[in-house]
Chains A and B, each alone.
Chain A
Amino acid sequence: MKRVLVAILLVACGPKVPRDAPAPWETSGIDWTKPPLLDTPLPLSPPAAEHADLDNGIHIVVVRNARLPIVSISAVLEGVGSREDRDQPGLAALTAELIHEEARDLADVRIATDTMTIQFVGESRLAETFVGRLGTMLRHPRIGEGDTARLRGIKRAEVYERAQRPRTIAAQTFDRVVFGAHPYATPADGTAESIGWLFTRDLRTFWERRYAIAPLTLIFAGDITLADARRYAQAALGEWEHRAAPFPAPPLPAYTPQLAFVDIPDAAQSIVLIGTRAAAAGDPQQLAGDVASAILGGGIGARLDRKLHEELALTIGASASFWRGRWAGSWAAATTFATDKTVPGVRAALDVIAGASTITADELARAKRDLLAAVQESFETNLGTVRAIERIVAQDLSSDWYETYAARLDALTLAEVQDAARWRDLSVVIVGDWAKLGGQLGELGLPIVQYDRDGTQRP
């Protein structure tokens, strides 16, 4: 035994080379000028999902992965998102905050336009506790005067602070331009003023009327079986008189391209969004659009970044992406220019977007590869898996969206992606110094409309 240990130690120490001698490359027997060939890529294999329904219509999805004793749980409620605020912006978000009070130590609550999600992450031995707490949150929220006043104050302060940020102003103005009077134009959290007019009775009424008819999907990923998930859900929510009802889509007002300007006197830089209204989630051209957008503005090395940052040094970065809702969507390129470079920067960005349909086969192949890798990676964690399924629910995508993703991506032709890259009816939103820029904007050829910081159109 001793001899074996000595032998191991000798080999482990090995013959060392002198301190400053170069590496003896010739002894390696490897060609260091030529990297090895790649293996055959593995096919995208999304994890299998099991489904069940409670008698009251609550849908359960379970993706089992027992490699670690943890679980991620997400409850997705449709129809209680910020689009339901109508005349009371911020109502859905503040109601969600009150509901969050039941489990602030355990859960995350997110309000989005079309949905509200409640998420638990933890050891799988706590799964029953999590679902039990979820039941209390949804069925017996404490919507009382004291909590409402406290949370209203906190929310107002947060929203007020956020609304001073030029990026938030630009995003909210863009939504106003693209969606007009549609609920999608309303900031998800409301405004500091609108929140001030929300009272306990409003929140209680919203909860009573909306939550009991909101389609609810419970998503579990991790170390849990469908039988356990169903049992926990039945105990916590099975008796809830819950009957999901459809939410009719409001009409979309006409969209007219414009140059929207929000004045920030003496701003050293301008926040710029260039974009347009897009199709709702699930559009047949969605994947082609995603590929085209990734090629144009998918981050470092994409066309916008290459031109505006690397070649022209007009900005430190530019990107583009879609936002997709149930009823409509939008697409926007976002960047920042120093005030004196704003107009040439916008012109250069518009030129890049106008030339986007010249996508090459090489760019297409790279974008397909990157999108596939991103989807593959999203299934490597429970939380990533839950979020992927949340997307299917929130955007009402086909249930085999990920199973067929690789084949649909592979089938996309260059012509289809080039066609998707022809963005039309572009609006430009600039948040910057009107005194320095106002006189130069006419050359961009769009009708100029000025907005206040809160998104109100100036007369």
Chain B
Amino acid sequence: MRALRAIATFILIAGFGPDARVERLPAEQYALGNGLVVILAPDASVGSVAVHVRFDADQGPKLEPQLAAGSLHVTDFAARIDAVGGWATTLASDDYLGMTEHVPAHALGLALWLEAERMAGLADAIEDSALRRLARERIAPNHATLVIAGRFDTARTRELVRRYFGWIPPRDGAAKPHKAGRFDPALAIAGEVLAARLTGDVRIEITPDRDMIARPVDGRDPAQMKDALERELRALRTQPPTPDEITRARDRVITRFYLALEHLSIRAELLASWAASERDGALVVRWPELLASVKRDDVLAAAASVRP
């Protein structure tokens, strides 16, 4: 336990607001001595467990193909997860590289062993020296968050995490890029109001850099949709959303958030993203509260700041 330093213990209270029916999804965040941030989110109502590792490192897309090629001791990562009835996936962006496994609860030890081996051994398996150096700098515990969500025994899992990950040394290299404010409730509602005005033909995502990404629903013409989007964005500035529009948009965003939390793998990813953005994964619980506090002026200001 020497390497283990609890830096925070939180409880995710997943019901609040006027109709709060408090049931608890506990989440505990701490760090190992090597800098690895660990979030344990046990949930006894399920029979499986999700393991998510997020490396906050740039050039994720460069490193992602290497995940499929394998690490020093394991060249068949996905097959081993598949063999226990689970599944694995990876996701890379310009500022992070994420890996998720969803396995039956009895295979948690295997998933942690595989992820620890990959964290320590991915770089050792790369022949290209430049790519290997990049992997050594970025794929390291001091740039990573490990989230375990689902059915597991907390004390035993803490010990497994310490055993498998605690020995991996931190690495010199690029510091974690920190993009605070990724979760802006006014932006989320502004995007939803826009999507509703476009009658659901489009899904809107607004990035932390205030860029708006719109994805047309199947069969819609992207060019026409772009025109409509720009028109509605202008209209939003001159015809502010009504209180009813804001309420409906907020309800939809909150519902989607809870639906996402139901899925262990997404819950694990959300905890990791909030840990990366807000330094504290457990703050994810505040999202509905933050959404509830948004005023019409906030939505207008958010809409004005967006670049279509």
A residues engaging B (CB < 8 A)? 8, 11-25, 27-30, 32-33, 35-42, 44-45, 47, 65-70, 105, 121-126, 223, 301, 366, 369-370, 372-373, 376-377, 379-383
Partner of B105, one of A12, A30, A42, A67: A42
Question: What are the nearest 8 A-B pairs in CB distance?
Answer: A373-B85, A125-B19, A39-B106, A23-B120, A69-B15, A381-B262, A70-B258, A28-B167
List, in ascending order, chain B residues with CB within 8 A of A23's CB.
72, 120-121, 123-124, 168-169
Closest residue on chain A to residue B129 by CB atoms: A20
A44 adjacent to B47 (CB under 8 Å): yes
List, in ascending order, chain B residues with CB within 8 A of A21's CB.
136
List, in ascending order, chain B residues with CB within 8 A of A30's CB.
113, 163-164, 167
Tell me whether B155 is interfacial, beta carbon within 8 Å.
Answer: no
Query: With A and B bound together, what is the CA distance between A40 and B262 in angstroms?
Result: 25
A19 adjacent to B85 (CB under 8 Å): no
Residues 36 to 86 of chain B near chain A (Cβ within 8 Å): 43, 45-48, 72-73, 80, 82-86
Closest residue on chain B to residue A370 by CB atoms: B85
A12 adjacent to B5 (CB under 8 Å): yes
Closest residue on chain B to residue A23 by CB atoms: B120
A381 adjacent to B169 (CB under 8 Å): no
Query: With A and B bound together, what is the CA distance between A66 and B35 in angstroms?
Result: 35
Tell me whether B283 is interfacial, beta carbon within 8 Å.
Answer: no
A35 adjacent to B133 (CB under 8 Å): no
Tell me whether B31 is interfacial, beta carbon within 8 Å.
Answer: yes
B contact residues, range: 35 or more
A-B contacts besides A11-B33, A17-B170, A301-B82, 4 pairs, CB < 8 Å? A14-B169, A38-B109, A41-B104, A377-B48
A372 adjacent to B167 (CB under 8 Å): no
B residues engaging A (CB < 8 A)? 3, 5, 7, 14-15, 18-21, 23-25, 31, 33-35, 43, 45-48, 72-73, 80, 82-86, 102, 104-110, 113-114, 117, 120-121, 123-124, 132-133, 136-137, 142, 151, 163-164, 167-173, 248, 251, 254-255, 258-259, 261-264
Known: A36-B110, A380-B262. A18 touches B172 (CB 8 A): yes
List, in ascending order, chain B residues with CB within 8 A of A372's CB.
85
List, in ascending order, chain A residues with CB within 8 A of B15's CB.
66, 68-69, 223
List, in ascending order, chain A residues with CB within 8 A of B108's CB.
39
B255 adjacent to A69 (CB under 8 Å): no
Known: A24-B169, A70-B259, A123-B255. A14 touches B35 (CB 8 A): yes
10 A-B Cβ contacts within 8 A? A13-B35, A23-B120, A30-B163, A30-B164, A33-B73, A42-B47, A67-B45, A68-B261, A377-B48, A381-B263
List, in ascending order, chain B residues with CB within 8 A of A70's CB.
255, 258-259, 262
Query: With A and B bound together, what is the CA distance between A21 and B135 in angstroms?
Result: 12
Known: A11-B33, A32-B73, A32-B121. A68 touches B262 (CB 8 A): yes
